[in-house]
Structure 1
């Protein structure tokens, strides 16, 4: 028996596009013509009861965030809220608190609420995620991570790590301490670190010590108090601005003069980096723009317009007072 998955695969479109076509929703004329031909060729007959359940529009978008105490998440949500209101959608926002089972449960809950589509600010995409997303039969957009065969928007995290590394090398630094997070978060924990390490590949006499810490400023601060006295690094790279702020606090308490003792940089472009002393060099990310563009992309999917499976947003190095050229000995 021919299924909606078969139709989508043969047409080369998302299952949600076929669903909108079958429910007389908005799809492009070219796509409609292609689906008309395939349905006629295959003799596909839709389940009329299931179609009736999908007929009513709710004008609601579900959003799943990883945690509440995140400056970057709040900025993304600001952009999502702004654009959703402009496009006539209401939001249902759920928090997974960095718990995968809770995140999967949130996806199921939002589907039951009959949201039009779901935006997931993800740490990782597992097979369990993929099964739920595939079975949901509604547009789904992953933010912050690349996800094969799922529409996603991510930041150029590898490139950001590479840029920081090249910047530090150009300042004459060769001895580094890298405060990272678990590689379970592929963008922050893996891509930023790998970009940084690859930037040093052809640089002689470099030394890198990697410390795995947490997104929590409290834990990062404690790890820095332990690690900094043992380090000879002249440059400390922090996987997030919050970690950089925590490391700076530890350095001050250890009575280190920054950046004379060592340079510090982070990732994020958080406003808080301007309100510490010294101000912190950072890779700035377009968080609010990510939220705005996410709703624009999801709206296109809801209207049946095909978009690239992967959208990559750029970042920018912002040099402040926490980094200086290494003095020659």
Structure 2
């Protein structure tokens, strides 16, 4: 009779790591452990292939159906809009939602996920990987639980991804700037260590190539996606007179860029062209309204929730799926700013008193 392979337990992890079961439990639940102990526990978990028995815990405790949603920063505008849609979709499907902020830290993400699995609290996970590089979230492929990632795809069996077509939307918006007459459209971009950042940068490049133009690499600046970084990059592009229009690659970079333009006395849509990826209700504050890419937050959330629920229920037997959703591109006269006298004529016409 063949010997049945035993399933590793938390006691095995503790034995291999040379620490107590309590130390392992606290660490995998997100608690503190000495760096040496943490390394030993991680190594033991990896070597043993340890996986908490979530289904067994559910059958024993009778706990309600629950999904975990892990966000890089709960205060991030994009994360907040997605989270709102996810909560609504999961509640309609009969699932409670546990929200976990991992502060854009790969190490904390790993601990938070293992903590949820160890406690048996969740039946499935949704992870927003917007701010992570590919190698920082690749370990998700080994998480043995229904899983959906949003923003950055993960090509792994049993892992579904929901991704916006960032490249196409960026190409269309930057293309509108070039078609309006601009020859020097600068990029205020994110560091290209994430899928989202690379795709938006490629869309900027595509717009030039599509029109037979050389890609002006010197006009593409990259930094952390913060308001201060956006302000600094916009200042560099404008102060050296290298651009007539700017494409900001996300919400926070746009806010920083707009602050710089206002400080310099440049009117968006008049003295300089401007467009941004992300529109969270501030674009129409300007005259003319800003040209923007609006992400379909509700569709992203609904798609992710539907995928995860089907995986949990076992009604989807495909190895994995990448759902590509399209964003809405809104082009306004803001792309025409900086086109010399014609732009000022447009401004005058816009503000001409109307007969009543």
Both proteins in one fold, TM over 0.5: yes
Equivalent position of 1:292 in the other structure: 302
Equivalent position of 1:152 in the other structure: 161
2:85 maps to 1:79: yes
| Structure-2 change in CA distance of 1:239 and 1:225 (3 Å) | same
Which 5+ residue runs of structure 2 have no aligned equivalent? Answer: 6-52, 343-356
2:318 maps to 1:310: no
- Indicate conservation of the 8 Å contact 2:296/2:326, yes or no: yes
- Indicate conservation of the 8 Å contact 1:177/1:231, yes or no: no
2:208 maps to 1:200: yes
Distance 1:227 1:234 in 2: 9
- Indicate conservation of the 8 Å contact 1:251/1:257, yes or no: yes
Aligned-residue offset at 1:294: 1.2
Aligned-residue offset at 1:314: 0.5
| Structure-2 change in CA distance of 1:318 and 1:110 (3 Å) | same
Bigger drift between 301-310 and 177-186 goes to 301-310
Report the count of equivalent residues: 283
2:336 maps to 1:324: yes
| Structure-2 change in CA distance of 1:207 and 1:260 (3 Å) | farther
2:217 maps to 1:210: no
Which 5+ residue runs of structure 1 have no aligned equivalent? Answer: 4-48
Distance 2:325 2:166 in 1: 9
- Indicate conservation of the 8 Å contact 1:265/1:281, yes or no: yes
Equivalent position of 1:119 in the other structure: 126
Aligned-residue offset at 1:286: 0.4
Distance 1:50 1:227 in 2: 53
- Indicate conservation of the 8 Å contact 2:133/2:193, yes or no: no
Equivalent position of 1:241 in the other structure: 251
- Indicate conservation of the 8 Å contact 2:173/2:331, yes or no: no
Equivalent position of 2:150 in the other structure: 143
Q: Deviations over 1:36-55 (max 9, x none)?
A: xxxxxxxxxxxxx9864453
TM-score by length of 1: 0.78
Among residues 69, 79, 95, which one is paired with 2:75 in the alignment? 69
User: Tell me, what secondary structure is at the counterpart of 1:323?
Assistant: helix
Equivalent position of 1:88 in the other structure: 94
| Structure-2 change in CA distance of 1:294 and 1:249 (3 Å) | same
User: Tell me, what secondary structure is at the counterpart of 1:151?
Assistant: strand
- Indicate conservation of the 8 Å contact 2:67/2:96, yes or no: yes
Moved over 6 A (4+): none
User: Tell me, what secondary structure is at the counterpart of 2:224?
Assistant: coil
Return the structure number with greater relative CO, CA threshold 8 A, min gap 6.
Answer: 1
Among residues 249, 264, 269, which one is paired with 2:279 in the alignment? 269
| Structure-2 change in CA distance of 1:224 and 1:125 (3 Å) | closer
Aligned-residue offset at 1:105: 1.7
Q: Deviations over 1:153-211 (max 9, x none)?
A: 00001111211232122112111210001112211x11011121022114236635111
- Indicate conservation of the 8 Å contact 2:70/2:102, yes or no: yes
User: Tell me, what secondary structure is at the counterpart of 2:252?
Assistant: helix
Q: Between Structure 1 and Structure 2, whose CA radius of gyration is higher?
A: 2
TM-score by length of 2: 0.72
Aligned-residue offset at 1:263: 0.5
2:231 maps to 1:221: yes
Aligned-residue offset at 1:86: 0.8
